[in-house]
Chains A and B, each alone.
Chain A
Amino acid sequence: MKFFTLVLASLFSIAMQAQECQYSISGVVRDFHDGQVLPNATLSINGYQKYALTDFDGKYVLNGLCEGTYVITITHPECEVADFTIELNGNVKRDFKLEHHTEELNAVTVKGQNTTKGSSSSAAQVLQTEDLEGYSNASLGDALREIPGVSSLNTGSTVVKPVIQGLHSSRVLIINNGTRMEDQEWGVEHAPNLDLNTAANVTVVKGASALRYGGDAVGGVILTESPKAPAKDTLYGKTILSGASNGRGYGITTTLMKAYKNGFYLQGQGTRKRSGDREAPDYVLSNTGVSENDFSVGVGLDKFTYGFDAYYSMYDAEIGILRASHIGNVSDLIRAINSGEPDVIRDFTYDINAPKQDVRHHLAKLSVFKRFEKAGKLTLDYSFQQNNRLEYDIRRGENRDKPSLDLKLTTHTLQSNFAYDARSDFKADFGVEASYQENFPNPETDIRRLIPDYEMYTLGAYATASYDINSSIKIDGGFRYDFNEIDAQKYYLNSSWEDRDYDADFSDLIVERFDNQLLINPVFDYHNFSGTLGGRYQFVNNWDLKLNFSSASRAPNPAELFSDGLHHSAAIIELGDLRIKQEQSYKTSLELNGQTGGFSFGINPYYNQINDFIILEPTGLQYTNRGAFPVYEYSQVDARLFGVDLQAAYYFNDQFDLKTAFAYVNGQDLDRDRPLIDMPAPNVNTTFSFRKAEWNNLNVSLRNQSVFKQTRFPDTDFEVTYINDSGSEVTENVRVSESPEAYSLFNLASSAEFKVLNKSTLTLGLFVDNIFNTAYRDYLNRQRYFADDLGRNFKIQIKLNY
């Protein structure tokens, strides 16, 4: 298990130190048309007694090769035999694509190229199954931090949102098995509602170039792909059992696949995760338990010319929120900041009490495809999603057990894509997408709705294409148009309505006036244009350069437009603005990957100009009988982000390698000429690995994760006068903007494989996170005011493949 292996390695070839006849060729064999892996393909080297068979993940390894030129023949029961010449002067990682047997497609094409979901010119990286398995008991956000330039925005350790090159939430689309997740992703405390264990691989596209999936990916796109069924009669599966000392947690996940030679398949997967209170080095983080139950089922028929897939998944999680982070007013916040440790520290328990989140996400999807001769593949998808989010706060009396927030978001999406792939040097995708969404905030909470009732209609159309000018230069481009209409019914307090000066601009929206509130019916339309253009140049073998321009247009989300009132879990008053327009980003990204000898590297600088960037920042204080509350308002500024993601690896020999990745992002508010809030601090991750295939495939790696102090943050501190606990009236500066100190953590990972029974493999993994039990806080953790982050954690993982 290459738990800590950087994804980099899979993206370009790797050569090792010159040693005779020690070289290997490894990689994945995929279907040329849809990129699905091909198990059971035979690779043989002409003239030598060397051959290899691909496994269920399409992977192969050919060992013990000398420097020289080889012809490799690849055969697969359903594909044309392909010969491929490869020059070997080091270890090579090469993916092959095979063409199916078809009358109309005679040409045999084998290519060793990367499979990208965005466009071939965009910066994208993939986490494969073996990387993901290490995070079986964690979340998507945790796993994605493996990728340089991807960090996370946390609420404690249980709510983890991915951040791509400084951007997150509504700016990062999550495409779960082809369907765009509609899981109230606008909220910074709303983690993606999907179980990582459903994915066979996860691709991160750092930018807006994956236009097929949406035009509003100002930050990027995360695509998860479920396992593909092989076209043979087989039944296989895997089970992963995990245990963790911190939180005394356990997890179990099982995947089963039944496939038939005729292309029919059935698959099922289930996960259960449970953890009690986590612990910081010095104290228990009370009320941070998690209970999660997920499952998914799929059935389909996968012929070459037609097929269908039906899929259903359910995600259900109950997530405890640190008790001490639930505060009453700004003086409670000052108390928390000054005390340096949580106000509530109780004994460990598995119980999850308020404050907590209880979320459930259903996704049902039906997809059909038909392949047309000399044209391509037409797919039609319908998906239904329902997301129910309950958030419980500390309440009094009869309302004690009622949620404070109860949102039910229902989304229907119909999309169709035509992939033109009749020519090997020119590919194109055309598609349309329509969706209807309805949000129902349940009034039984007896708390004024944070997000109003609304209906949203979207209609989008796109076209993308890529063209191989020659064997080393490839260009691609595309555009997309989206129409968005939001039709909301929203109550405002009269005082808020007047305070925001809405009467002047929006009095025609008023439907009815009540004693102290009024009802409005805003219907807002947005026209969004997005596009991408880029090229990829492979100037020598294993060296390539990618340049990509992309522009994304994102309509404001319901929180940005409509929030109004106390956000109980954060003790802030959050105000949206009806005047907010869409934001438009213009991103340039350059990526150079290269490899020489045992050294390989990747460098990805980027510049992202975002006009009318929507931000949420503290703007002052509001007074109530409960005391003062900081007011956070959404507003728009012109902003720019630039940064660089770097990665480098050195392979000493078959046993040892060293990999390091560095990410830096610099965000600036151009209107006020000051740093943007909540930008990830520069960070370096370095992993030193040892592996020995002869010793049960033993893998041991030591990883250092160092995060610098974020020195670039806007000063959003504010002053408040209040009577403190000791009874004196004080005026204090509330230090909300200061970033925590730098920190450095060491993690150990190890694994070994054992053959059990007939065809089964058991993988045993042992891990230690935060070996030295270092106390630290992270700038991108919303609970950094209240408590330290996680302390040492011993983990064990048993994986059985059968």
Chain B
Amino acid sequence: MKNLKISSLLLLALISFSSCSDDEGTPELINEEEVITTVTVTLVPQTGSTVTLTSRDLDGDGPDAPVRTVSGNLQAGMQYSGSIVLQNETVSPAEVINEEIEEEADEHQFFYQVTGGLDAAAVYADEENDYLTNGSTNPVGLSFTMQAGAASTGQFTVTLRHEPNKDAEGVSEGNLSNAGGETDVAQTFDLTIE
């Protein structure tokens, strides 16, 4: 008899516990803020038309691959001033992730690599001190200068590393070999210089 009482009490407790669960309704939709859906590199020449490189992956970590577009060819011998913008377009209005990179400029660095016979070179045009006033001359790479050489074709790769070893040899010149860290952006564009 005593057992029966206890068991019915327990059963009651179980039922009341289960019925007062904290979310009866629909779970909240999550649009990830940190996803970088869009990488835009803008190359502004001293004269002539601006070249824009875009990699857009609206489903973030989903199965769709990024769509890469290059607005035009580079002019031989031309110097371009380059900048990069990272955005999250899953939220509206699109969130510009650059601000976070600027705030954590000491923990981030972009790398620009030229491969496959493309006759061009990219040089950093900023330093941590521009964003953090920390006195550091280590580059961040949100802006850079690109010098196009002779007519050629090849690849241009943009990499963003989080927590790289900025003091390692060659890293401040844009050499990835000793940089380490984790990759936040890695996209390769086919470019032509004409």
Using a CB–CB distance below 8 Å, which chain A residues touch chain B?
Answer: 326-329, 331-332, 335, 343-344, 366, 368, 370, 378, 380, 382, 384, 394-399, 410, 412, 414, 416, 434, 436, 438, 440-441, 443, 445-449, 452-453, 455, 489, 491, 493-496, 499, 511-512, 514-517, 519, 565-566, 573, 622-627, 629, 722-723, 725-729
Q: Closest residue to A382 on the B side, CB-wise?
A: B10
Asked whether, in the complex, the Cβ of A625 is within 8 Å of the Cβ of B185, the reply is: yes
Determine which of B7, B62, B177 lies in contact with A496 in the assembled complex, contact meaning CB atoms within 8 Å. Answer: B62
A380 to chain B, nearest CB (A): 5
Instruction: Tell me, in angstroms, the Cα distance from A728 to B113 when the chains sit together.
Output: 9
B59 to chain A, nearest CB (A): 4
Q: Which of A399, A438, A624 has the most CB of B within 10 A?
A: A624
Whether, in the assembled complex, B65 has its beta carbon less than 8 Å from a beta carbon of chain A, the answer is: yes
In the assembled complex, which residues on chain A have CB atoms less than 8 Å from the CB atom of B14? 382, 412, 414, 434, 436
Whether, in the assembled complex, B167 has its beta carbon less than 8 Å from a beta carbon of chain A, the answer is: no
Other than the given A723-B155, A729-B155, 8 more pairs (CB < 8 A) read: A396-B97, A440-B22, A447-B32, A453-B23, A453-B27, A493-B62, A625-B39, A625-B66
Bitwise, B147-180 to A at CB < 8 A (1) or not (0) is 0000000010100011100000000000111011
Asked whether, in the complex, the Cβ of B21 is within 8 Å of the Cβ of A438, the reply is: yes
29 pairs across A/B with beta carbons < 8 Å?
Answer: A326-B182, A328-B161, A328-B181, A331-B186, A335-B180, A368-B3, A382-B13, A394-B182, A396-B34, A396-B100, A398-B100, A436-B18, A438-B21, A445-B30, A446-B30, A447-B32, A494-B59, A495-B63, A496-B63, A516-B59, A519-B27, A623-B57, A624-B57, A627-B186, A722-B186, A725-B179, A726-B176, A727-B157, A729-B155
Q: Closest residue to A323 on the B side, CB-wise?
A: B163
Asked whether, in the complex, the Cβ of B104 is within 8 Å of the Cβ of A626, the reply is: no
State whether A443 and B28 are in contact (beta carbons under 8 Å apart), knowing that A328-B162, A495-B62 are contacts in the complex: yes
Instruction: Tell me, in angstroms, the Cα distance from A443 to B30 when the chains sit together.
Output: 7
State whether A384 and B17 are in contact (beta carbons under 8 Å apart), knowing that A394-B162, A566-B61, A723-B157 are contacts in the complex: yes
B189 to chain A, nearest CB (A): 11
State whether A723 and B30 are in contact (beta carbons under 8 Å apart), knowing that A412-B18, A626-B186, A729-B155 are contacts in the complex: no
Instruction: Tell me, in angstroms, the Cα distance from A722 to B162 when the chains sit together.
Output: 19
Determine which of A396, A416, A727 lies in contact with B104 in the assembled complex, contact meaning CB atoms within 8 Å. Answer: A396
Q: Interface size on B (CB < 8 Å)?
A: 65
Determine which of B36, B63, B157 lies in contact with A626 in the assembled complex, contact meaning CB atoms within 8 Å. Answer: B36
In the assembled complex, which residues on chain B have CB atoms less than 8 Å from the CB atom of A397? 34, 99-100, 103-104
Asked whether, in the complex, the Cβ of A327 is within 8 Å of the Cβ of B30, the reply is: no
Instruction: Tell me, in angstroms, the Cα distance from A623 to B37 when the chains sit together.
Output: 12
In the assembled complex, which residues on chain A have CB atoms less than 8 Å from the CB atom of B103? 397
In the assembled complex, which residues on chain A have CB atoms less than 8 Å from the CB atom of B28? 443
Bitwise, B52-72 to A at CB < 8 A (1) or not (0) is 000101111111111000000
Instruction: Tell me, in angstroms, the Cα distance from A725 to B183 when the chains sit together.
Output: 11
Whether, in the assembled complex, B187 has its beta carbon less than 8 Å from a beta carbon of chain A, the answer is: yes
A683 to chain B, nearest CB (A): 34
In the assembled complex, which residues on chain B have CB atoms less than 8 Å from the CB atom of A499? 62-64
B7 to chain A, nearest CB (A): 5
State whether A370 and B3 are in contact (beta carbons under 8 Å apart), knowing that A412-B17, A489-B26, A624-B60 are contacts in the complex: yes
In the assembled complex, which residues on chain A have CB atoms less than 8 Å from the CB atom of B101? 396
State whether A725 and B33 are in contact (beta carbons under 8 Å apart), knowing that A368-B3, A443-B28 are contacts in the complex: no
Determine which of B30, B184, B186, B188 lies in contact with A447 in the assembled complex, contact meaning CB atoms within 8 Å. Answer: B30
In the assembled complex, which residues on chain A have CB atoms less than 8 Å from the CB atom of B100? 396-398
Q: Closest residue to A488 on the B side, CB-wise?
A: B27
Instruction: Tell me, in angstroms, the Cα distance from A398 to B99 when the chains sit together.
Output: 11
In the assembled complex, which residues on chain B have CB atoms less than 8 Å from the CB atom of A441? 27
In the assembled complex, which residues on chain B have CB atoms less than 8 Å from the CB atom of A448? 30, 32
B155 to chain A, nearest CB (A): 7
Asked whether, in the complex, the Cβ of B23 is within 8 Å of the Cβ of A446, the reply is: no
In the assembled complex, which residues on chain B have CB atoms less than 8 Å from the CB atom of A447? 30, 32, 34
Q: Which of B17, B60, B114 has the most CB of A within 10 A?
A: B60
A92 to chain B, nearest CB (A): 42
B64 to chain A, nearest CB (A): 5
Asked whether, in the complex, the Cβ of B176 is within 8 Å of the Cβ of A727, the reply is: yes
B11 to chain A, nearest CB (A): 7
Q: Closest residue to A455 on the B side, CB-wise?
A: B21
In the assembled complex, which residues on chain B have CB atoms less than 8 Å from the CB atom of A627? 183, 185-187
Instruction: Tell me, in angstroms, the Cα distance from A520 to B103 when the chains sit together.
Output: 38
Whether, in the assembled complex, B77 has its beta carbon less than 8 Å from a beta carbon of chain A, the answer is: no
Q: Closest residue to B180 on the A side, CB-wise?
A: A343
Determine which of A326, A368, A625 lies in contact with B6 in the assembled complex, contact meaning CB atoms within 8 Å. Answer: A368
Instruction: Tell me, in angstroms, the Cα distance from A410 to B22 when the chains sit together.
Output: 11
State whether A623 and B182 are in contact (beta carbons under 8 Å apart), knowing that A378-B3, A447-B32 are contacts in the complex: no
Instruction: Tell me, in angstroms, the Cα distance from A631 to B64 when the chains sit together.
Output: 13
State whether A516 and B58 are in contact (beta carbons under 8 Å apart), knowing that A412-B14, A436-B14 are contacts in the complex: yes
Asked whether, in the complex, the Cβ of B62 is within 8 Å of the Cβ of A446, the reply is: no
In the assembled complex, which residues on chain A have CB atoms less than 8 Å from the CB atom of B31? 517
State whether A624 and B176 are in contact (beta carbons under 8 Å apart), knowing that A414-B10, A573-B61, A723-B113 are contacts in the complex: no
Determine which of B114, B182, B183 lies in contact with A727 in the assembled complex, contact meaning CB atoms within 8 Å. Answer: B114
Q: Closest residue to A492 on the B side, CB-wise?
A: B62
In the assembled complex, which residues on chain B have CB atoms less than 8 Å from the CB atom of A519? 26-27, 29
Q: Closest residue to B63 on the A side, CB-wise?
A: A499
In the assembled complex, which residues on chain B have CB atoms less than 8 Å from the CB atom of A455? 21
Asked whether, in the complex, the Cβ of A440 is within 8 Å of the Cβ of B23, the reply is: yes
Q: Closest residue to A400 on the B side, CB-wise?
A: B104
Instruction: Tell me, in angstroms, the Cα distance from A368 to B5 when the chains sit together.
Output: 12
Instruction: Tell me, in angstroms, the Cα distance from A326 to B180 when the chains sit together.
Output: 12
Q: Closest residue to A566 on the B side, CB-wise?
A: B61
A-B pairs, 6 with minimum CB distance: A328-B183, A328-B182, A627-B186, A397-B100, A499-B63, A725-B176
In the assembled complex, which residues on chain A have CB atoms less than 8 Å from the CB atom of B33? 399, 446
Whether, in the assembled complex, B42 has its beta carbon less than 8 Å from a beta carbon of chain A, the answer is: no
Instruction: Tell me, in angstroms, the Cα distance from A660 to B28 when the chains sit together.
Output: 56
In the assembled complex, which residues on chain A have CB atoms less than 8 Å from the CB atom of B83? none
Asked whether, in the complex, the Cβ of A624 is within 8 Å of the Cβ of B66, the reply is: yes
In the assembled complex, which residues on chain B have CB atoms less than 8 Å from the CB atom of A496? 59, 62-63
Instruction: Tell me, in angstroms, the Cα distance from A412 to B15 when the chains sit together.
Output: 9
In the assembled complex, which residues on chain A have CB atoms less than 8 Å from the CB atom of B6? 368, 380
In the assembled complex, which residues on chain B have CB atoms less than 8 Å from the CB atom of A573? 61
B91 to chain A, nearest CB (A): 10
B97 to chain A, nearest CB (A): 8
In the assembled complex, which residues on chain B have CB atoms less than 8 Å from the CB atom of A565? 61-62
Give the residues from 76 to 121 in chain B that come closer than 8 angstroms, CB to CB, to chain A: 90, 97, 99-101, 103-104, 113-116
Instruction: Tell me, in angstroms, the Cα distance from A685 to B21 when the chains sit together.
Output: 49
Determine which of A326, A332, A382, A514 lies in contact with B29 in the assembled complex, contact meaning CB atoms within 8 Å. Answer: A514
Instruction: Tell me, in angstroms, the Cα distance from A420 to B29 when the chains sit together.
Output: 52
Q: Closest residue to A414 on the B side, CB-wise?
A: B14
Q: Closest residue to A343 on the B side, CB-wise?
A: B180
Instruction: Tell me, in angstroms, the Cα distance from A443 to B22 when the chains sit together.
Output: 13
Instruction: Tell me, in angstroms, the Cα distance from A514 to B26 when the chains sit together.
Output: 13
In the assembled complex, which residues on chain B have CB atoms less than 8 Å from the CB atom of A380? 3, 6-7, 10
Asked whether, in the complex, the Cβ of B11 is within 8 Å of the Cβ of A414, the reply is: yes
Q: Closest residue to B100 on the A side, CB-wise?
A: A397
Asked whether, in the complex, the Cβ of B3 is within 8 Å of the Cβ of A491, the reply is: no
In the assembled complex, which residues on chain A have CB atoms less than 8 Å from the CB atom of B180? 335, 343-344
State whether A329 and B34 are in contact (beta carbons under 8 Å apart), knowing that A625-B57, A727-B114 are contacts in the complex: no
Asked whether, in the complex, the Cβ of A452 is within 8 Å of the Cβ of B27, the reply is: yes
B191 to chain A, nearest CB (A): 13
Asked whether, in the complex, the Cβ of A729 is within 8 Å of the Cβ of B186, the reply is: no
In the assembled complex, which residues on chain B have CB atoms less than 8 Å from the CB atom of A410? 21
In the assembled complex, which residues on chain A have CB atoms less than 8 Å from the CB atom of B99? 397
Bitwise, B132-158 to A at CB < 8 A (1) or not (0) is 000000000000000000000001010
Instruction: Tell me, in angstroms, the Cα distance from A446 to B33 when the chains sit together.
Output: 7
In the assembled complex, which residues on chain B have CB atoms less than 8 Å from the CB atom of A446? 30, 32-34
State whether A366 and B10 are in contact (beta carbons under 8 Å apart), knowing that A496-B62, A516-B90, A519-B26 are contacts in the complex: yes
In the assembled complex, which residues on chain B have CB atoms less than 8 Å from the CB atom of A516? 58-59, 90
Instruction: Tell me, in angstroms, the Cα distance from A671 to B33 when the chains sit together.
Output: 42
In the assembled complex, which residues on chain B have CB atoms less than 8 Å from the CB atom of A343? 180-181
